[in-house]
Amino acid sequence: MPYTVKEIAQWVDAVVEGDDGLTIDRLAKIEEAGPGALTFISNPRYEKHLATTAASAVLVPKDFPAANKTLLRCADPYFAFMTLMQKLYGAAPALPAGVHPSAVIAQDAVIAADAAIGPLVVIGRGCRIGRATQLHPGVVLGDGVQVGEHCVLYANVSVRENCRIGHRVIIHCGAVVGSDGFGFAFRDGRYHKIPQLGVVVIEDDVEIGANTTIDRATLGETVIRAGAKLDNLIQIAHNVEIGSHTALAAQSGISGSTRVGRHVRIGGQAGAVGHIEIGDRAAVGAQAGVTKSVPQDVFVSGYPAREHMSAKREEASLSKLPELLKRVKRLEETLAKLQTKS
């Protein structure tokens, strides 16, 4: 910083409409942007701010209407803005390579020379840590855990024994990978614990939010496929499979042995029962309760979850129910009077 609009447009393959010589010294939200700032519009609900924003330039879709503002027209303004954030601000500071003297590491653990092991990290027997991976303070790896290359495990992440993590995985503070699945058999008036003997497998390029919990399988594997993104405070139960490039928003939960397909979107506080399938490219609305399998490419919402437009029509009908009951009561009173007269 600073850069000209022309330079920035070249980085994100945008076409400038307006003054390409303007100087940009920061990125900002459209509601908060001032002179010298670059902002973006990708959602129509934010178009109203264009007339009042003080931003010097705005990233917009290619077909955006003309405006009295310098525009950078591009295929995907949101992605372009993210690209600029990475280029101009970079990632969070990395831990320096090496092992902090307070770390407790088993003698047979294998750690890449350029890995970063922070204060009070505990690494169990037989663990393997790949190149350029960072373990921030308080991370605990149980025996036999494998962590790939270029991973970042932030403070107080716990990974239980024998779980496997791929490359370029990010796990945020307080997440727990490989806790026991919720398995009990009820007999003679009490619950008996079922041993949880499986593992969790997290494939490449997954990101897991803070305080999310992923249970180990009873037998076999709980699997988070490549590129999946899990928000904060999510519960993934034993033997669940989350498909590649699927996204789950905060406080959602998936019950045991459910399979979630590829490119699925699950809204915040949504939940799914166990032993069902959610098909590829399906979508589940916020706070939906999924009680049966969902076909691929279908958007469901509500409780119990059903096709989204049907759910909206039913909700609209319910809002009219009080007035309908009043009308029925008046009709009943009128009918009763007519019967009395006759």
Which pLDDT does position 1 carry in this prediction?
65
State residue 92's pLDDT score.
Answer: 73
The pTM is what? 0.88
- Alpha-carbon distance of 221 to 244, in angstroms, equals 16
CA distances from 270 to 10, 165, 288 (A): 41, 26, 5
Angle formed by the axes of helices 308-319 and 321-341, nearest 10°: 50
Catalytic one of 136, 167, 172, 238: 238
Instruction: Report the run of H or E that residue 322 belongs to, with start and end.
Output: helix 321-341
In sequence order, what are the beta bridge partners of 59?
Answer: 40, 72
- Catalytic annotation present for 263: no
Q: Are 211 and 227 in contact (CB under 8 A)?
A: no
For the chain, 342 residues long, the average pLDDT of each consecutive 10-residue run is 92 96 95 95 93 96 94 96 90 87 98 97 98 98 98 98 98 98 96 97 98 98 98 98 98 98 98 98 97 97 93 87 92 90 80
Residue 329 structure tokens: 């009561």
